[in-house]
């Protein structure tokens, strides 16, 4: 049994497809099928039910999945111990990101990582499933770190490292009845239809908690489309001001501290992070600290003198 075959096996578990797993691991599909076949012959067990789509992990496969993750974690830990002797950090980190990271600039993070640790490869994954999807991926091991904006208590097995936060603003077209206000309150929004992000997004959790759920709300899973819809007069929304691109809309502060978007880094509490994962977490924290300084300066400069 080879470690590389275990990596291929876990990739199949995560993607539900030999073809998708091969693409992720940068090999041809036939090589992926051969690797899984070798494992099944070595173990004398069928690991996947290939009669369904996506392929399903069998009971024997589920048992191997947990054991394979432990083997890979031990191998990575051993490599980290050896590399530490020469102050070397290398490896691959899979980072899951929300579609917007607010004042945290991921370009700065990735550039800093390449400069300080050129042997670390960061694989960025963005999902329209929002924070909830990212947390599930940390739990199943397909992500090493996930950026999450969920306002809910994280599930067991997840550690959260707070990074940055930003108040949600009311974003409306220029001819909206509230467009001339300097500030508004949640009471002002009680009768205003609000375009919302999908369930599972951190902002959706926050807005539903403060304004109440709205089962009939129009749901948009794209920041740029949301702003374009607001600009055309389709509706109004609540979102971080940093995510609003372009002109033609009004961005109004809301007097409601509870309407705040919080960004955190989520890690597994069940797996020891690799040195590469720790290095990326350090870069994320440093960029968040820089973003805080910039946000403080910008807020002071633009704070309105009237309420």
Within 13 A of 155's CA, how many CA atoms are on the CB side?
Answer: 14
Nearest to 284 by CA among 123, 145, 77, 117: 145
> Could you read off the pLDDT of 233-256 as tens digits, one per residue?
999 999 999 889 878 899 999 999
Give me the pLDDT at residue 115, please: 93
Domain 165-261, CATH homologous superfamily name and number: Periplasmic binding protein-like II (3.40.190.10)
Q: What is the pLDDT of residue 303?
A: 30
Tell me the pLDDT band of 306, cut-offs 50, 70 and 90: very low
Q: If residue 244 lies in a helix (H) or strand (E), which one and from where to where? A: none
Beta bridge partner(s), residue 142: none
Distances (CA, A) of 210 to 128, 203, 219, 243: 23, 11, 17, 20
pLDDT at 171 over 70: yes
Q: Is the peptide bond before 54 cis (omega within 30 degrees of 0)?
A: yes
Q: Which two tokens stand for residue 22?
A: 């091969």
Q: Would you tell me the crossing angle of helices 3-15 and 59-85 to the nearest 10 degrees? A: 120
- The dihedral over CA atoms of 240, 130, 246, 293, expressed in degrees to the nearest 10, equals 40
pLDDT tens for 57-80 read 999 999 999 899 889 888 888 887
Cα angle vertex 192, ends 188, 198, to 5°? 120
Confidence of residue 46 (pLDDT cuts 50, 70, 90): very high
Question: Is residue 11 pLDDT above 80, yes or no?
Answer: yes
Judged on CB neighbours under 10 Å (0-12, 13-18, 19+), 112 is middle
1-85: in CATH 1.10.10.10: yes
Domain ranges of the chain: 1-85, 165-261
Kindly report, residue by residue over 118-157, the tens digit of the pLDDT: 999 999 988 777 888 888 889 888 899 999 987 677 888 9
**Cα distances (angstroms) measured from residue 188 to each of 192, 241, 304:** 8, 19, 19
The pLDDT tens digits for 200-236 are: 888 888 999 899 988 777 899 889 999 999 999 999 9
Please give the DSSP secondary-structure letter assigned to residue 254: B
Task: Tell me how far apart the alpha carbons of residues 269 and 273 are, in angstroms, rounded to a whole number.
Answer: 9
Dihedrals φ, ψ of 212, to 5°? 95, 150
pLDDT (tens digit per residue) in 264-297: 999 999 888 888 999 999 999 999 988 766 554 3
First-to-last C-alpha distance (Å) of the chain: 68
Q: What is the pLDDT of residue 128?
A: 72
Q: What is the pTM of this model?
A: 0.71
Residue 296 confidence (pLDDT): 45
- pLDDT cut 90: percent of the chain above it: 51
Amino acid 112: pLDDT: 92
Answer yes or no: is pLDDT of 300 > 80.
Answer: no
């Amino acid at each position: 049994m080879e470690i590389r075959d275990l990596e291929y096996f876990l990739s199949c578990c995560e993607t539900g497809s030999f073809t998708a797993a091969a693409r992720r691991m940068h090999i041809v599909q036939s090589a992926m099928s051969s690797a899984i076949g070798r494992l099944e012959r070595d173990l004398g067990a069928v690991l996947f039910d290939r009669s369904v789509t996506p392929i399903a992990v069998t009971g024997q496969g589920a048992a191997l999945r947990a054991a394979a993750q432990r083997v890979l974690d031990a191998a990575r830990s051993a490599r980290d111990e050896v590399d530490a002797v020469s102050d070397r950090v290398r490896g691959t980190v899979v980072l899951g990101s929300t579609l917007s990271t607010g004042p945290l600039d991921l370009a700065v993070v990735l550039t800093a990582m390449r400069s300080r640790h050129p042997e670390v490869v960061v694989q960025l994954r963005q999902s329209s499933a929002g924070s909830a999807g990212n947390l599930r991926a940390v739990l199943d091991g397909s992500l090493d770190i996930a950026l999450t904006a969920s306002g809910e208590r994280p599930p067991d097995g997840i550690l959260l490292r707070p990074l940055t936060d930003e108040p949600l603003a009311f974003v409306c077209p220029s001819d909206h009845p509230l467009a001339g206000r300097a500030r508004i309150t949640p009471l002002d929004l009680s009768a205003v239809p609000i375009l919302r992000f999908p369930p599972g997004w951190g902002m959706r959790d926050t807005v539903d908690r403060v304004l109440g759920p709205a089962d009939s709300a129009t749901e948009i899973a794209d920041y740029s489309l949301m702003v374009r819809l607001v600009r055309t007069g389709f509706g109004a929304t609540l979102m971080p001001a940093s995510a609003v691109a372009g002109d033609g809309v009004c961005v109004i502060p809301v007097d409601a501290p509870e309407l705040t978007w919080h960004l955190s880094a989520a890690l597994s509490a069940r797996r020891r992070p690799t040195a590469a994962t720790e290095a990326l977490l350090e870069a994320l924290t440093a960029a968040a600290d820089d973003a805080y300084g910039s946000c403080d300066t910008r807020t002071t400069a633009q704070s309105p003198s009237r309420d």
